[in-house]
Amino acid sequence: MRGICSLAAAFMLAVAPAYADFQHKVARGESISGIAYKYHISVEDLIKHNPHANSGVRQGMMLTIPDGSPAQQPETVAGSGSGLPGIQAGQADGPTAVIGSIDDAQVEWIDPSDTLAAQPDTLRKPNLMVLLPFKAEPGKKAKQYAEFYRGMLLAANELTADRGEEVEVIVRDLASDREGLEAQLLLAEEKNVAVVIAPEDQASMREIIDYASPKGIYVLNMFNIKDESHLTNPYVLQGYIDARMMYDKAVSGILEYYPGYTPVILDPANGRAEKDPFVQMLRKKYASMGLDVIDVPFADTLRKADLEAAGVRTDGSGRYVFIARSGAVSVFNRFAPMVSELRLTDEGKEAYKVFGYPDWTAFRGEHLTRLYDIQAMVYSRFFFDEKSREARELRDGYERWYGESMLEAVPNQAALGYDTAHTFIKWLQQTDGNIGSVLGSAEVSLGIQSAFSFVPAGIGAGYINSTLYLVRYMPDRTTQSYVL
């Protein structure tokens, strides 16, 4: 159909060459995951034999390739486009076609070293479809969709290297021809698609759900947190935990990680209080357990006198966890200096804790430094640890494939696409397309930024991702994350 930019990607594992022991010299731009892919070994196995590469590799470093690994670099994925392994730059039908001006572009990436892949009828039917408005009017949203898609490609390539199984994905651009949505949905049924990733737009999502669900096709919502279609339709998957479940899990996290600590609700005069729904759930849960909660109102900035007037001991002899009624940086600035002062001693570090909000994961500069200093813990639907090896590898792979840096955003859209594709392609492979056998099973898939574990949203309802991160900022400038 004119105006619809299409992309079908098929990935297959290359035929492994002969084996031998030898040393690999790291070239400029190479990464741990990239080297592991070249030799058909896992990142963990490569690091096991090269402990000095645990924190990353640099140009000129020598790595031991363990016995039993291919002695030569396998063929890369073949195709045409720009920035992908084995793909020639400058051709029109590459991965960037979804945001270009191509009509009816269709590409299949198949490893030429696998002779079976040369026969079209040997390919499995696509079981994952992505329907997003890549060619929407230029702006942040269109760029975010493109980033999401690029992350998906990285995950598909990695799964091919790790699992040796074929991965096939259909991608359609809705922005070029809104009226062509019905044709794309007909294609989904024809191609035996099991899951469709839907856009944020409510009208498009509604149309996709109305068509897909009667046919047993699941619709994954990764872009509209507020949408509640999963509450009434058994084939809708909400990719994010809802507010009620999130608050309940966050309060449970406080009870688990700060047992014996009394919550201190910080209430600044003339300050925002947008986190009151969370605070109210905390009050209710603590009251049901017969536990106290202390309220501390204060004027401009928090002072010891404000705490003492409310009954908070400031000599380090009590156990308190400070919780503000707002996640705004302006409110954070009004109480954080006092908390830092209270934590100057060893007793203070143990006596005074801070529990905060998803907003804080976007802090940078001096505000991020303060989070580390006060050892704050926050809850969030997602967490991208930029210092982790996995995050570095994703950045390296992205820059190597696309020749530019990832778009800075919270959440990181490339990581979101990577985690989504990695989880659902893996689940579809494991179940031969019967993803319903995984949903509600309590299986947790941990990604670089997001975790997935879908639970029933109610009787006759769909499923919702129930995972929540707790992130602790450590004084050594690292973070510890826990998935609830």
Q: Where are the domains of the chain?
A: 6-11+75-241+391-469, 22-65, 244-379
For 157-192, what is each residue's pLDDT tens digit? 777 655 555 556 788 887 655 556 777 788 777 778
> Does residue 253 carry a pLDDT above 90?
yes
The three state secondary structure string of 13-77 is CCCCCCECCEEEECCCCCCHHHHHHHCCCCHHHHHHHCHHHCCCCCCCCEEEECCCCECCCCCCC
> What is the pLDDT of the chain when averaged over all its residues?
79
What was the pLDDT predicted at 409? Answer: 83
Confidence of residue 29 (pLDDT cuts 50, 70, 90): low
Q: Domain spanning 6-11+75-241+391-469: which CATH class is it, in words?
A: alpha beta
Q: Are 398 and 154 in contact (CB under 8 A)?
A: yes
The two three-digit tokens of residue 187, written as one number = 């294609």
Length of the chain (residues): 484
123 CB contacts (<8 Å, ≥6 apart)?
A: 10, 117, 166, 168
What was the pLDDT predicted at 72? Answer: 38
What was the pLDDT predicted at 436? Answer: 85
If one counts every other C-beta atom within 10 angstroms of the C-beta of residue 455, the result is 15
What was the pLDDT predicted at 138? Answer: 66
> 316: buried, middle or exposed (CB in 10 Å: 19+, 13-18, 0-12)?
middle
Residue 161 and residue 140: Cα distance in Å, rounded? 32
What was the pLDDT predicted at 321? Answer: 98
Q: Are 462 and 234 in contact (CB under 8 A)?
A: yes
> Does residue 230 carry a pLDDT above 90?
yes
> Does residue 316 carry a pLDDT above 80?
yes
What was the pLDDT predicted at 117? Answer: 27
Same fold, 6-11+75-241+391-469 and 22-65: no
Across the range 243-259, mean pLDDT stands at 96
What was the pLDDT predicted at 431? Answer: 82
Q: What is the DSSP letter of 313?
A: -
What was the pLDDT predicted at 89? Answer: 27
> Does residue 76 carry a pLDDT above 70?
no
What was the pLDDT predicted at 32? Answer: 75
Q: Please check whether the domain covering 244-379 is classified as CATH 3.40.50.2300.
A: yes
For 284-301, what is each residue's pLDDT tens digit? 999 999 999 999 999 999
Closest CA to 180 of 207, 202, 201, 206: 207
Task: Look up the pTM and report it.
Answer: 0.74
The three state secondary structure string of 159-195 is HHHHHCCCEEEEEEECCCCHHHHHHHHHHHHHCCCCE
% pLDDT > 90, the chain: 50
**Architecture of domain 22-65 in CATH?**
Roll (3.10)
